[in-house]
């Protein structure tokens, strides 16, 4: 069966490897990484076409023949569950003339039938029926090899989070995720039943800016002081789902030292922000019931460990960012060099009181929807970055803060000061450049 291979860059690669290497320095990257369509083409082919990319969560396809449609870079794909319960990531493209075989976001079907000439595929991607079969004199094995839906070369999952890679080469998923799996654990362990589910729909926003601006932001604590200053109350605190957010300003002056909260980075470009100084932790009867259920399952000590709030936003490079405490994940879907779609999924903790999970769904309207009070600040900054980066006055985008000060960290990787920009340095100087030059990431420079 044909692999789902990344397309050749269109037009012909605009940059040689040598040229690409001039665009990335240890502490800065050239602005063309954000503005050049030729670079974007190469990213889709060599980064999104090779790295492990988040596709969906197993809970989105709970039953046999359930499916969702999404994309891996530019590749339209269908994630399905077949009759036997196995998950597949298939190309949403008829093997005959290229027509997409599925036009809906999600559903349940035993067969994907092409609307053009009726070629029909099973939920595992194999060819189920071929009208005018006699017009193809090829033998059965040959027909099955090139008339089935193409599939991602590798599909694997970690605690229900399904990733795919469009190439056979490169590290396995466990190696690729390395220490960032602790952030997934931090989310999933919060569920009394030890499982999460994507229910509650999807909030979608568009950034008229390059996809990397969202990823850069995911490991940046410092911006909150400036970008989100309009979200503070009289007391200088940012509102949050559980009340009293971090106290950022006092009397109109920055009052927070972000450094002690730290930022953690891992090989392959993943990372997380340390816990912001939230002083008011959740309370109330719903929360108490939630804690009781965790304790009933795990005991008091383990529950305290699970609820320890030690990290804010995590990034799994290059395709997703998520908040365990905030109970949502965001999928980064590049569309073009200056346009990105972000899909925000609330995450339900199985076994938690229903009101605890619906509270997470409801609060996304205030924090992360396209009309929310926090995300719109970030979107505006990303779009102004895209505008500013058109300028040739400066060629470099700087990630130079706290050079060389990060220390080895017990989860693997390293931990730096809260405003350190070293996680972005790992992303660009060790991974972006590696993938763009045809490697598989983790190139220690």
Partner 1 sequence: MSAADRVYPPSPTLDAVTAFVNRECRLLDERRFDDWRDLFTEDGAYWAPTRHDQKSPEEAVSLFYDDRVTMAARIRRLKHPDVHVQVPESRTVHLVSNIEAEAVPGEPAGVRAYAAFVMAEYRHTEPRWYAGRYEYSLRRSEDGFRIALKKVTLVNCNAPFTSIGVYL
Q: Which residues bind partner 1 (CB under 8 A)?
A: 200-208, 226-227, 229-231, 233, 239, 341-344, 346, 358-359, 361-362, 364-366, 369-371, 373, 375-377, 379-381, 384
Nearer of residues 130 and 370 to partner 1, judged by Cβ: 370
Nearer of residues 105 and 172 to partner 1, judged by Cβ: 105
Structure tokens at 298: 């795990």
In whole angstroms, the minimum distance from the beta carbon of 348 to partner 1 comes to 11
In whole angstroms, the minimum distance from the beta carbon of 202 to partner 1 comes to 7
Rounded Cα–Cα distance for residues 78 and 423 (Å): 32
Complete DSSP assignment for 149-198: PPB-SEEEEETTEEEEESSS-S--HHHHHGGGHHHHHHHHTTSTTS-EE-
Q: What are phi and psi of 163, to 5 degrees?
A: -120, 155
Nearer of residues 202 and 400 to partner 1, judged by Cβ: 202
Beta bridge partners of 39: none
Q: Is cis: bond before 11, omega within 30 of 0?
A: yes
Q: Are 339 and 208 in contact (CB under 8 A)?
A: yes
In whole angstroms, the minimum distance from the beta carbon of 381 to partner 1 comes to 6
Nearer of residues 373 and 400 to partner 1, judged by Cβ: 373
In whole angstroms, the minimum distance from the beta carbon of 30 to partner 1 comes to 26
Nearer of residues 229 and 400 to partner 1, judged by Cβ: 229
Nearer of residues 1 and 202 to partner 1, judged by Cβ: 202
Beta bridge partners of 158: 161
In whole angstroms, the minimum distance from the beta carbon of 29 to partner 1 comes to 24
Rounded Cα–Cα distance for residues 104 and 228 (Å): 36
In whole angstroms, the minimum distance from the beta carbon of 56 to partner 1 comes to 16
Question: H or E element: which one contains 332?
Answer: strand 328-336
Q: Are 156 and 171 in contact (CB under 8 A)?
A: no
């Amino acid at each position: 069966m044909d692999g789902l291979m990344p397309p050749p860059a269109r037009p012909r690669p605009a940059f040689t490897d040598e040229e690409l290497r001039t665009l990335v320095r240890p502490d800065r990257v050239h602005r063309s990484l954000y503005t050049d369509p030729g670079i974007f083409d190469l990213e889709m082919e060599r980064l999104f076409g090779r790295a492990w990319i988040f596709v969906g969560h197993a809970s989105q396809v709970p039953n046999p023949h359930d499916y969702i449609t999404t994309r891996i870079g530019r590749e339209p794909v269908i994630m399905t569950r077949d009759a036997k319960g196995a998950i597949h990531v298939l190309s949403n493209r008829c093997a005959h003339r290229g027509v997409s075989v599925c036009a809906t976001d999600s559903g349940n079907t035993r067969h994907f039938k092409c609307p053009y000439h009726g070629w029909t595929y099973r939920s595992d991607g194999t060819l189920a029926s071929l009208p005018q079969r006699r017009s193809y004199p090829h033998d059965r094995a040959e027909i099955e090899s090139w008339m089935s839906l193409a599939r991602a070369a590798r599909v694997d999952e970690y605690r229900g989070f399904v990733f795919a890679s469009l190439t056979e080469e490169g590290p396995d998923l466990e190696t690729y995720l390395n220490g960032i799996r602790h952030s997934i654990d931090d989310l999933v362990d919060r569920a009394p039943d030890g499982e999460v589910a994507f229910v509650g729909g999807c909030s979608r926003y568009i950034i008229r800016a390059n996809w990397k601006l969202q990823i850069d932001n995911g490991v940046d604590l410092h911006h909150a002081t400036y970008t989100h200053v309009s979200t503070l109350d009289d007391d200088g605190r940012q509102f949050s789902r559980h009340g009293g957010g971090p106290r950022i300003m006092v009397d109109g002056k920055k009052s927070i030292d972000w450094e002690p909260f730290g930022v953690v980075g891992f090989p392959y470009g993943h990372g997380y922000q340390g816990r912001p100084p939230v002083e008011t932790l959740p309370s109330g009867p719903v929360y108490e019931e939630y804690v009781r259920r965790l304790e009933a399952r795990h005991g008091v000590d383990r529950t305290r460990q699970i609820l320890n709030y030690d990290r804010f936003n995590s990034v799994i490079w290059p395709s997703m960012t998520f908040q365990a405490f905030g109970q949502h994940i965001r999928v980064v879907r590049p569309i073009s060099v200056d346009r990105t779609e972000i899909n925000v999924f609330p995450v339900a903790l199985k076994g938690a009181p229903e009101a605890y999970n619906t509270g997470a769904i409801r609060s996304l309207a205030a924090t992360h929807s396209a009309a929310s009070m926090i995300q719109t600040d970030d979107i505006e900054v990303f779009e102004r970055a895209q505008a500013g980066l058109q300028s040739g006055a400066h060629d470099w985008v700087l990630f130079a803060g706290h050079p060389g000060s990060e220390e080895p960290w017990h989860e693997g990787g390293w931990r730096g000061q809260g405003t350190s920009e070293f996680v972005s340095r790992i992303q660009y100087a060790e991974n972006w450049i590696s993938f763009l030059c045809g490697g598989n990431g983790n190139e220690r420079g």
